Structures are given as structure tokens and as C-alpha cells.
Amino acid sequence: MSDIVLQIDGVEVAAKEGMTVLEAAQKAGIYIPTLCHHEKLEPYGACRLCLVELESRGRSRLVVSCLYPVEKGLVVKTRSEKVDRVRKMILELLLSHAPDAFELQDLAKEYGADKYRFEKEPSFCVHCGLCVRYCAEVKKKEAIGFVNRGTKREISFIPEIASKECWNCKECFPLCPTEALQAAFVLAKALSFPSTEHAPAE
Amino acid sequence: MERINSANELEALRKSILSSRDTNKPCITICSGSACHASGSKEVASRIEEEIANQGLSGTVDVRKTGCHGFCEKGPIIVIHPEKICYFQIKPEDVSEIVTETIIGKKIIERLLYTDPATNEKIVYESEIPFYKNQERLVFGSNGSIDPKNLDDYLAIGGYSALAKALFQMTPGQVVEEVKKSNLRGRGGGGFPAGSKWEGSRNAPGDIKYVIVNADEGDPGAYMDRSLLEGNPHSVLEGLTIGAYAVGSHEGYIYVRQEYPLAVENVTTAIKQAQEYGLLGKNILGSGFDFTVKVHMGAGAFVCGESTALMTALEGRAGEPRPKYIRSNVKGLWNRPSVLNNVETWSNVPLIINNGADWFTKLGTESSKGTKIFSVVGKINNTGLVEVPMGMTLRDIIYKIGGGIPGGKKFKAVQTGGPSGGCLPEELLDLQVGFDELTKAGSMMGSGGMIVLDEDTCMVDVARYFLEFLTDESCGKCVPCREGIRQMLQTLTKITQGKGKEGDIELLEELAETAREAALCALGKSAPNPFLSTLKYFRNEYEAHIKEKRCPALSCKELIAFYIDPKKCQACTTCARKCPSNAIIGGKNLIHMVDQEKCTKCGTCFEVCPPRFSAVKKISGEPVPDPIPEEARIIVRGGKKNE
């Protein structure tokens, strides 16, 4: 497949057909912030932090780079006034839930996001879905899933599966950008399978 | 029933159905849609059947339970054919009189006729009633005359002739061209040109393609798709089959919300009948074209009307929008080319094929062709479904057809396009309805919801209401929608509670930008519209709430107070007796007062105070006058001195 050349932040970048803008940027060493992206997982497009400004046919628009396929001659800006403004707001919205998450704090500094802009509602989970998707896509267990929708949406371990599968895995734990996942696991364990019958023999 | 194996056989069957029907035979049609059932049409229908049997008229009078007639305000509605006498708001106890007087005696029952509120005249025929007279009911008109459970009824009005024409006289490419030429735009929301969508799928690679009916209608107060699917399911199936032929699809889905059980029932029956007649299934009408349709019941989540979410749900997964920069008509359901149109769009197709694109484009505005069915609800006299040519003004729809605002109240705004639409003020009443016309004004066509608001409506509260709906209905996947709308709702709620502060409007605007620019799907991207449109036209109301803690519409509870004008109170004690929280301080011959501490602001006193006194006032943004001393409250009547 012939290489596609596009422009990211003024730099000519070569990419392959089927790649996303994010992949092309990463390959060229250009940093775009992400929260819900993971190279082992299908693109998800939920956190919207990786949005970039595109110029095509004389018009500019925001797209999320983790999903947008590269095109020949595409002109991409990973930082612009608009991108920064929207990114800052997204961070502020997330910080009301997880004000102390390290990843968010670093980004907040970069974009001047005020973690106290919105009333604190520490639910900790930022709904990046890394745990849910990792368990489903990589481990094929689906021990954790999203329940409910809208603002009531939350992650939840499925006790029947979790009690069998999670003990020896816990591979999702380090993926979580906040502490919500561990908390959810401890809660599920305490409520649904407190005994240690599935624990490895001492 | 024997299969129909050719276009000629279809025409022969149609002729035999028509000739077996005596056009002079009396026939009573009664509306039997979901809304009609709610107003009691089921009981009326069974009473009619009983009465006909009791009076020995079985076999000489037909009874036909049809779909929605549209004039829901006046339902249940019956029309007596062949004269087409129209009776409204029929109760079971009216039935025996109707049969005796009108069917047998050929006399008209005055009290059941429509009274024109403008002239006070009684109107006998549907075609002369202003509500119907000013409409152009191309798509919806047959609803009132056919039994949706009877395919013969649909054939009798020319049903499936467009399918036969497409299959035998046109190539798939010609069908696509005709639809493109007609400039039919999707009646579901965005108004995307149907022909281009079809062409994209037709040209997309792959042997397996799908056509889908979006019947997930979930806008508050809108029910045109439900009524069409309930009342004329074959018109939707015929349009869908023509679309399938055009794009080269052999499998179709009808995604209908399960809260629409009658629509599910009627369309399922229709599919079965069409299969028996050879109008669906293998080798349709002997043309060699195969096409099957399945009904899928959705759980009734608003977001599932969004095309990618609907397809995800059809695949059997949670109905969440799919992030994609490739259109669904190229990569949709199971990653295959999929044409998704809503019920009304598909129903337009047979008309276009039968009458041609030129006929269709004669109706409408520059960029919006044909007709549109609107669901007109809210503060309006004639609630119901109306079908008008594109380009009719809002004023004509609201006043000529809708009969204006009840109770002598003033029109304030019309909310169009569902939760993602916007509110248009009085200055825009002469706006012609059309996709681009409405969008330009800051609202949208959407699926055709139209909620009329009167002077008592607070526009900040309207924005709050729709954002509340959207927060509940958001799937919660992406941050700008889940978190952004939630913050917008919280800010709007605070404003309506009198807790708004300087900077709130700017914050709302910033949140609106984030949702618009960065949300994953159309629900989130359009969610700020209720706020943005009300801010655009009613900014003063936002400012009054924030700066003066005043609700100009006297509607926001936290910002109003009820006060009894001592000069007007006649101590009739009505309000004191009706007040549910004992907040009225009063007594015989004693001017009443509202105890502001106890008052729950339910408004009962305001409503029950006799109009000849109208002593109860609603006030906002001003202090409640101090209570007057007991001795000054004594009312002296008829010159007689009080001791």
C-alpha cells in the first residue's frame, strides 16, 4: 500500500492506508493527549481529549484523532485555540469527578484547567472504559461492564464472573486512570463474594 | 389467499376487490390508533358492532376500524360513508342513536357535529372543517379510510402499484434517479437527501446490503411515525421494498420501539399478509426480486433513534452510538451498506414512484419538497397530527389548522424539532417551514414535533426541561454529552431557582460549544439547541432570572409569590377552602391573606379565585406587600356597620 502523506502541525508525516490520525502522529513522535485510548484495544472515541482541528475544503472542524482515518493531503492541527479551549473544558468536567487523578492533573496544568470550576462530585470513574474493554477484548471474560446510561452510567463487576476470573488476573487494575476500578472491585467482592474460596491456595 | 405472480394479476385482484365493494353501502369508520384507544374508541367500536347486530343490520352496514385521523383533540372520530358525515368525541352511549338516526333514518345528529369556534356553525363533512381543509394529506390521508389489518383495503386505494411499476418498468438505477430528482429529504432529523443516501449504498461494494425503517420515534409529544405505522403499515413496507430493489438489498429491518405495541402488531400482520400475497419474500410479483423484512423491537431509548446507535442495537448490543467517520450507507449494520430512513420518509416513496419526481417537487420550498406531517401539541386548540406542504407558515399551521391558543392567552413560542430543536418566537411566525428555513432560524425540522407555548411558559424552564430529558436519554459514553449536558442542566436549574449568578450565561455558552464541537453523536452535538435558541430569542428572560431574580412568565416556583389584593378580595373563602396547605389566613368578612411561610406555590388560590374578583395575584421579582393589620381587614358590606 502506497504511503499517504499528510501534514500534522506543519510537519509532513507519512502514514499507511487505514491508519488513524492519532497513530500517524504517534509514529511521527507528535504527542496528542488521550485518556480512553489503548493500543491493544479497539478505538473507542469516548473521552474526546484527542480531538484535533482539521482543515479540508477551506473549512475547519474538530474530529477525534483516534478514529479519523488518514487521508492524502490532510492538514491537521493538534493544538489550536479552539482545540485547547474544548480540551480544557473536557478536563474540567472530568476533574469534578476525579480531582486527584494524576493523569488529569498533569493535563490540567498543560491546559490551564481549573479543577474547582465545577462542583466536586467525586465518583472517581471517568468512564474511559479501559477496564471494560480490556476485559472483553483482550481477556474475553466480560467480568466488568457498564450499567445504566447517561449520568447514571457506572462500571460494575459481574459477581458470577468476577468471583471466578478476577482473582488471578487484575490486569485491568493498572489501566485505570483513577482509583474507581479498584474501589468497584473491592465493593463487588465485599458484597458478592467475600469468602476466599477462589483465592489461590496458601 | 393465492400468491400474486405478476403485475397484471395484481391489477386484476385490485379490480375484483373494487367491484366486490358497493360504494353505496353504508360504512362506519372509527379511528382506532393508540391515541384513539386512549380516548375510548375501542368501547365505541365494539358498541357499534353490537348495535348493528342488534338492529338486524349485519351484512348491510360495514364497520371499519382505521388508523389515526389526526384530529386527536376531538377523538374518537367516526365518519359515515358514503356521505362522509363526521362525528366527533363519540361516547358509547351515542352509538345507538347514530345507528338509528343516521344509518337508518339518514338524519344528521347536530350535537355530534364539529362546531367551528370562529363562526359557531356546525360542519357536517370532514373536507369542510378548517383543521382538515387547510392540510395537504398525501401521506397521511389514507389513514382514515383503510383498515390497517386488511391488505385488500390498501390494494383498493392503489397500494403496491408503485412497487409493480418499479419492478417491471424501471431499473434500480432509475428508481434511485427518480428519488434523487424528487429531492426527498429524510423526515427523521437531519434532512439528508434520501436519493443520495440510496445511491451511496447502491454504489458501495458488497453483495449484502440492508434497508432499515427507523420507527424509534421518541420526541416528547410526537407520534406521527407511530400513527403511520399503525394506520398504514403497507405504505411503509411498499416504500421499503422499492428502496431495497433500488439499492440491491434483500433484507430489511423495522426498528420499532416496544412502547408502540399496536404499531408492532399491525406491521407484523402486514408483513405476514404481504408475504402470503407474494408482495414480500421470494420472487416478488414474479419479478425475480427477493426481499424479506423483520421487525425488531427496541427498548425505547431516545438515543437509539440515532442511526449508528440504532444499528448497534439491531446487532444485538447496547444501543450506543458508534464513532465513525464512514457513513452508514457504506458501512452500517454489520459493517455492510445500510440505508436507514424513518417511517414517514419510506411512506413518501410509493407516491414519488407513482406520480413522478416532477409532481413531488411542485410542492414545497426551494430546498424542501413535498409535505411534512407535524405533531402539533401544547397550548393549542386543535391538538393532533397535521400534514401540510413544506413552505406553509408557522402562523397558518398554528392558527388556521391548529385553531390558535386556548383561553385567550398570548402565543409565546413554538418549539420545533424535538429535544434537539429550538424555540421560535412570535416575530418568526411567518417563517415558512422547511429543513433549511428552520435550521437557519436556530431550530430544526427534526421528525416534526411542534409544541406550542403560551405566555405562561418560562423559556429558561423550557430549556431546562429539554436538557433534563436529554441527560436522562444520553447513553453516557462520551464526556461532552454525559458531563457537559449534566452541567448545563445544573446551571439552568439553578437559574430557574433564583440561584443564577453573573457568568452563568457565558458558562452555558462554553458548555454548549464543547458539546456541539466535541460530542460523539447527534444527540450530544444538538443537545445545546434548546438553550441556544431560547437564549437567542429570549435572552431578557435569562437576565431577569439571574439579575433581578424574577421570572417574567411568572412560572418558576422559587421566584414567584401569591398575593391577595386587599382591595379586590371579597372574603368569599373559596381559596381558603381549596388551599391544600392551609396557607390562607381568612374568615368570613375578613380580607384574606397568603401566609408566605406556609405557601407551597401550587397556584390553587390563583385558579379558584372567581374571575369577577380576580383578587389573587402572582408576583415575581418584587417584595410581597406587608400584611395589613387585622382591623383593616374587616369587610363592611351593604353599608351595614360591623361592630
How does DSSP assign B16-64, residue by residue?
Answer: HHHHHS-TTS-EEEEE-SHHHHHTTHHHHHHHHHHHHHHTT-BTTBEEE
* % pLDDT > 90, chain A: 69
Residue in B477, B487, B513 nearest the CB of A93 = B487
State the pLDDT at residue B325: 87
User: Above 80 in pLDDT, residue A197?
Assistant: no
Strand partners, B375: B385, B449
Comparing C-alpha atoms, which of B232, B93, B229, B231 is closest to residue B159? B232
Q: Report the distance separating Cα A94 and Cα A74, nearest Å.
A: 30
Q: Does A10 touch chain B (CB under 8 A)?
A: no
* % pLDDT > 90, chain B: 88
User: In Å, how far is A56's CA from the nearest CA of chain B?
Assistant: 14
Q: Does B323 touch chain A (CB under 8 A)?
A: yes
Q: What is the DSSP string of B526-563?
A: HTTHHHHHHHHHHHHHHHHHHHS---TTS--GGGEEEE
Q: Does B515 touch chain A (CB under 8 A)?
A: no
- Check whether domain A4-79 has CATH 3.10.20.740, yes or no: yes
User: Above 70 in pLDDT, residue A199?
Assistant: no
Residue B641 pLDDT level (bands cut at 50, 70, 90): very low
- Mean pLDDT over each residue of chain A, to the nearest integer: 90
State the pLDDT at residue B190: 82
For residue range B124-153, list pLDDT tens digits in order: 998 899 999 999 999 999 998 999 999 999
State the pLDDT at residue B643: 39
Task: Locate the chain A residue with the closest alpha carbon to B301.
Answer: A149
Residues of B in contact with A146 (CB under 8 A): 318, 476
User: In Å, how far is B189's CA from the nearest CA of chain A?
Assistant: 21
Task: Map out the domains of chain A as residue ranges.
Answer: 4-79, 83-122, 130-198
DSSP class of residue B139? T
Q: Does A198 touch chain B (CB under 8 A)?
A: no
Give residues 29 to 68 of A whose Cβ lies within 8 Å of B: 43-49, 51, 62-64, 67-68
Around A55, how many Cα atoms within 13 Å sit in the side-chain half-sphere? 13
Q: 3-state DSSP call for residue B412? A: strand
Contacts with B260 (C-beta within 8 Å, 6 or more apart), sequence order: B34, B215, B217, B226, B229, B230
Catalogue the long-range contacts made by B276-279 (C-beta closer than 8 Å, 24 or more residues apart). Answer: B276/B1, B276/B3, B277/B1, B277/B3, B277/B4, B277/B151, B278/B3, B278/B4, B278/B5, B279/B4, B279/B160, B279/B163, B279/B237, B279/B238, B279/B241
For residue range B532-587, list pLDDT tens digits in order: 999 999 999 999 999 999 999 999 999 999 999 999 999 999 999 999 999 999 88
Strand partners, A156: A145
Residue in A64, A85, A119 nearest the CB of B323 = A64
Q: Report the distance separating Cα B484 and Cα A26, nearest Å.
A: 28
Do the Cβ atoms of B480 and A43 come within 8 Å?
no
Residue in B301, B478, B486 nearest the CB of A151 = B486
Around B170, how many Cα atoms within 13 Å sit in the side-chain half-sphere? 23
Task: Locate the chain B residue with the closest alpha carbon to A46.
Answer: B478
Contacts with A189 (C-beta within 8 Å, 6 or more apart), sequence order: A157, A162, A163
Task: Locate the chain B residue with the closest alpha carbon to A68.
Answer: B325
Q: Does B378 touch chain A (CB under 8 A)?
A: no
Residue B599 pLDDT level (bands cut at 50, 70, 90): very high
Do the Cβ atoms of A48 and B520 come within 8 Å?
yes
Residue in A63, A90, A119 nearest the CB of B325 = A63
Residue B10: CB atoms within 10 A of its CB come to 23
Residue A159: CB atoms within 10 A of its CB come to 15
Comparing C-alpha atoms, which of B128, B50, B34, B32 is closest to residue B93? B50
User: In Å, how far is B487's CA from the nearest CA of chain A?
Assistant: 8
| Rg, Å, chain B Cα set | 28
Q: Cα dist. B291→B155, B265, B288, B296, B340 in Å?
A: 19, 20, 10, 16, 16
Lowest mean pLDDT among B202-211, B233-242, B304-313: B304-313
Comparing C-alpha atoms, which of B93, B28, B104, B25 is closest to residue B65? B28
State the pLDDT at residue A202: 41
Q: Report the distance separating Cα B379 and Cα A171, nearest Å.
A: 57
Q: Report the distance separating Cα A69 and Cα B606, nearest Å.
A: 62
The sign of the dihedral angle between the CA atoms of B434, B437, B439, B441 is negative
Assigned architecture for domain A130-198: 2-Layer Sandwich (3.30)
State the pLDDT at residue B466: 96
Residue A110 has phi, psi (to 5 degrees) of -60, -40
Task: Locate the chain B residue with the closest alpha carbon to A64.
Answer: B518
Q: Given the DSSP bridges, would you call strands B251-257 and B292-298 parallel, antiparallel or unpaired?
A: parallel
Do the Cβ atoms of A149 and B474 come within 8 Å?
yes
Residues of B in contact with A89 (CB under 8 A): 480, 484, 510-511, 513-514
Q: Is B512 within 8 Å of B528 (Cβ atoms)?
A: yes
Do the Cβ atoms of A89 and B484 come within 8 Å?
yes
User: In Å, how far is A202's CA from the nearest CA of chain B?
Assistant: 41
Q: B566-593: string of b/e by CB count within 10 Å (b at 16+)?
A: beebbbbebbbeebeeebbbbeeebbbb
C-alpha cell at B171: 431499473
Residue B390 pLDDT level (bands cut at 50, 70, 90): very high
- Label residue B106 exposed, middle or buried (CB < 10 Å: 0-12, 13-18, 19+): exposed
Comparing C-alpha atoms, which of A41, A39, A35 is closest to residue B480? A35
C-alpha cell at B261: 405495541
Lowest mean pLDDT among B189-198, B343-352, B632-641: B632-641
Q: What is the DSSP string of B595-616?
A: -TTT-----HHHHHS-TTT--E
User: Above 70 in pLDDT, residue B237?
Assistant: yes
Contacts with A43 (C-beta within 8 Å, 6 or more apart), sequence order: A20, A37, A66, A67, B323
User: In Å, how far is B421's CA from the nearest CA of chain A?
Assistant: 20
Q: What is the mean pLDDT of residues A182-194?
A: 83
State the pLDDT at residue B642: 44
- ipTM score of complex: 0.92
Residue B440: CB atoms within 10 A of its CB come to 11
State the pLDDT at residue A198: 52
User: Above 50 in pLDDT, residue B457?
Assistant: yes
State the pLDDT at residue A195: 64
Residues of A in contact with B318 (CB under 8 A): 146
State the pLDDT at residue A201: 45
Q: B143-176: string of b/e by CB count within 10 Å (b at 16+)?
A: bbbbbbebbbbbbbbebbbbbbbbbeebebeebb
User: Above 80 in pLDDT, residue B1?
Assistant: no
Around B415, how many Cα atoms within 13 Å sit in the side-chain half-sphere? 30
